[in-house]
Structure 1
Amino acid sequence: MIAFESVPVGTALPSLNLTVDRAQLVRYAGASGDFNPIHFNQRIAEAVGLPNVIAHGMLTMALSARIVTGWIGDPSAVRDLSVRFTRPVIVPDDDHGAALEISAVVGAVDAQARTARVDITAKFEGQTVLGKARCVVQLS
């Protein structure tokens, strides 16, 4: 675990680049029980006004949180995770999938609780897909 004293406000976490493909959407649907067809059926997605199949919002949130859990080294150190969904991640039916660019910076620290709030930015095609994405972690 990371020591509280070594994490000042402004600390940038190592960036993370991830790919979401259709197979991952199917696996997530099975694990979560979210079988909404906008996540796997292009015809249905387009019928409701989407440009194509979109990733589950909670999947996007979970993938984005990996930047924090990878940095902290212990997923059980996460005390809170919150986001607002601002744009969908469009997942094409190809061999490449959708590229997510994740970055994060320590936005605040709490000396009494020995926690840090990490502000996460998740982008797809250069646009932010999560708003107010924040993760509070316990430090040693």
Structure 2
Amino acid sequence: MSAGFAVGDALPSQDFPAERADLVRYAGASGDFNPIHWNERYATSFGLPNVIAHGMFTMATAIRVVTDWAGDPGAVVEYGVRFTRPVVVPDPGSAVITVGGSVTEVDDAGRAHVELTATVDGKTVLAKARAVVRPPTGR
């Protein structure tokens, strides 16, 4: 990242594979053991195409692009998304969440307003994914 934020700055796009084991680990960390996130038979009985990733897992995965770019997870002062479609996680294999972003505004406090794109197989999984990032101390 440069010495200051500028509108149009691109955040490097990253691909994040999500496997069933990742969902089980996330369930343990979050306490969300809903079977739609690990049991294919249960998930499909509710009309889902397969096991789906936790929404918060997807959201947390997407913000990694911002925290990597900023160099400090504590620099993110706001973050929000809208969930547009579930991330289906096959077994065997993985779903690959592709995330990129750009700075859309720099406010009077020098904070970058970042808009993210998050897709799986070219389809948007998060909409209105926006973060506000404070400049590091010394900027």
TM-score, length of structure 2 as denominator length: 0.94
C-alpha distance in structure 2 between counterparts of 1:63 and 1:119, whole Å: 15
* Counterpart code for 1:43: R
Aligned length: 136
SS of the equivalent of 1:103 reads strand
Gap regions ≥5 residues in structure 1: none
Residues 86 and 129 of structure 1 are in contact (CA less than 8 Å); yes or no, is this contact kept in structure 2? yes
Match for residue 86 of structure 2 among 85, 88, 92: 88
Residues 2 and 72 of structure 1 are in contact (CA less than 8 Å); yes or no, is this contact kept in structure 2? no
C-alpha offsets along residues 47-104 of structure 1, whole Å, 9 cap, x if unaligned?
111000000000000000000000000001010010000000000011x311111110
* Counterpart code for 2:114: V
C-alpha distance in structure 2 between counterparts of 1:34 and 1:2, whole Å: 39
Match for residue 130 of structure 1 among 126, 133, 136: 126
* Counterpart code for 1:82: G
SS of the equivalent of 1:45 reads helix
TM-score, length of structure 1 as denominator length: 0.94
* Counterpart code for 1:90: V
Percentage identity across aligned positions? 57
Partner residue of 2:28? 30
Q: RMSD in angstroms over aligned alpha carbons?
A: 1.1
Q: Which runs of 4+ in 1 moved over 4 A?
A: none
Matched, 1:106 2:88: no
Gap regions ≥5 residues in structure 2: none
